[in-house]
Amino acid sequence: MTQPDLHATRQAIVNGSTSSAEQAKRSLSIARSSACEHVFMQLTPDSLTQTASTPGIIGRPLAGLSVSIKDLFDVQGQLTAAGSVVLADAPTAQRDSPAVARLRAAGAGLIGRTNMVEFAFSGVGNNPHHGTPSAWDGRYDRALGQPGGHVPGGSSSGAAVSVATGAAFIGLGSDTGGSIRVPAALNGIVGFKNTARTTPTQGVLPLSPTLDTVCAMTRSARDAILAHEILSATQVPIGNRPLRDYRLGVCKRYFQDGMEAAVARAFERSLQTLSAAGARITEIDLPAMDELAGLNATGGFSPAESYAWHRELIARDGARYDPRVLARIQRGANMKASEYMDLLQGRANWIRRMNQALTGLDAMLSPTVPITAPLRASVAPGAERDEEFFRVNSLLLRNPSAINFLDGCAISLPCHAPDEMPVGLMFWHGAMHDHTLLQLALQAEAALACPTV
Residue 76, SS3 per DSSP: coil
Residue 91, SS3 per DSSP: coil
Question: In whole angstroms, what is the distance from residue 322 CA to residue 81 CA?
Answer: 14
- Each as own residue / partner, the long-range contacts of residues 388-395 (CB below 8 Å, 24 or more positions apart, any chain) are 389/124, 389/126, 389/324, 390/324, 392/124, 392/151, 393/122, 393/123, 393/124, 395/258, 395/369, 395/370, 395/371
Contact 136, 164 (CB under 8 A): yes
* Structural element, H or E, at residue 428: strand 424-429
Of residues 47, 66, 68, 70, which has the active-site annotation?
70
Instruction: List CB contacts of 189: < 8 A, sequence separation 6 or more.
Output: 1, 160, 163, 164, 217, 218, 219, 414
Instruction: List CB contacts of 94: < 8 A, sequence separation 6 or more.
Output: 76
Planar angle of CA 324, 330, 335, nearest 5 degrees: 140
Planar angle of CA 394, 184, 219, nearest 5 degrees: 175
Task: Decide: residue 163, CB within 10 A, 0-12 exposed, 13-18 middle, 19+ buried.
Answer: buried
25 is catalytic: no
Residue 219, SS3 per DSSP: coil
Upper half-sphere CA count for residue 384 (Cβ side, 13 Å)? 2
Upper half-sphere CA count for residue 100 (Cβ side, 13 Å)? 24
Residue 75, SS3 per DSSP: coil
DSSP β-bridge partners for residue 40: 114
Using CA atoms, how far residue 310 sits from 86, 184, 210, 331, in Å, is 11, 28, 16, 12
70 is catalytic: yes
Of residues 84, 179, 208, 412, which has the active-site annotation?
179
Q: DSSP H helical segments within 129-170, as ranges? A: 138-144, 157-165
Torsion of CA 328, 330, 331, 336, to 10 degrees: 150
DSSP letter, residue 73 = B
193 is catalytic: no
Contact 363, 334 (CB under 8 A): no
Contact 31, 114 (CB under 8 A): no
Contact 129, 184 (CB under 8 A): no
Of residues 155, 156, 174, 302, which has the active-site annotation?
155
User: Could you list the active site residues?
Assistant: 70, 155, 179
